[in-house]
Amino acid sequence: MNQWYEELFENYGIKYDKETFVQGTIGECDFIEKEIEYNKATRILDIGCGTGRHSIELAKRGYPVIGIDLSESLLKRAKEKASEQKLQIVFQKHDARNLPYLHEFNLIIMICEGAFPLMETDEMNFQILQNASNALLLKGKLILTTLNGLFPLFHSVKDFLDSKTEEGNVKQ
């Protein structure tokens, strides 16, 4: 039986690529490249790769990348996109709480809530971080983004939505 977080992304691959929160890929990959000092030998693991936007962009720039996700639907879309661009990227289905890697990567990315912090408990989220740490080489780096837990304390969803115009731009 699938968990709620697996069902959430079923048949979401194409719609996912049109979401506003995925539009920063180029800038995010520019940041990643700067952090790894443009070293093309950097082995990268993209945890919670979704439809592969970072994996694909980094592979286009010449980096060896493995993308993993729990969602078959998103992985299918990632493979389609990589194939369309004639990129050889390994995309695999894995649960970030139980990864098969040990000291293999120079860089691990979890961007746009890729796996962390989507779990129900702090213990599950800790397992994800622990597995990411185990997969890193000794001097490896972890780059992740996470939800801002304070945001809902200071702003209601209604206030946030009211700040938008019909065109989707934030009012000044």
DSSP assignment of 83-142, as one string?
Answer: HHTT---EEEE--TTS---SS-EEEEEE-SSSSTT-SSSHHHHHHHHHHHHHHEEEEEEE
Q: Please check whether residue 168 lies inside any domain of the structure.
A: no
Instruction: Note down the domain range covering 54.
Output: 4-162
* pLDDT tops 70 at residue 161: no
Question: In terms of pLDDT, which residue wins out, 139 or 116?
Answer: 139
Mean pLDDT value across the chain: 80
Q: Please check whether residue 171 lies inside any domain of the structure.
A: no
Q: Please check whether residue 110 lies inside any domain of the structure.
A: yes
Mean pLDDT throughout 9-23?
Answer: 57
Mean pLDDT throughout 2-31?
Answer: 65
Q: Please check whether residue 66 lies inside any domain of the structure.
A: yes
The total number of structural domains that make up the chain: 1
CATH number at residue 41: 3.40.50.150
Q: Please check whether residue 169 lies inside any domain of the structure.
A: no
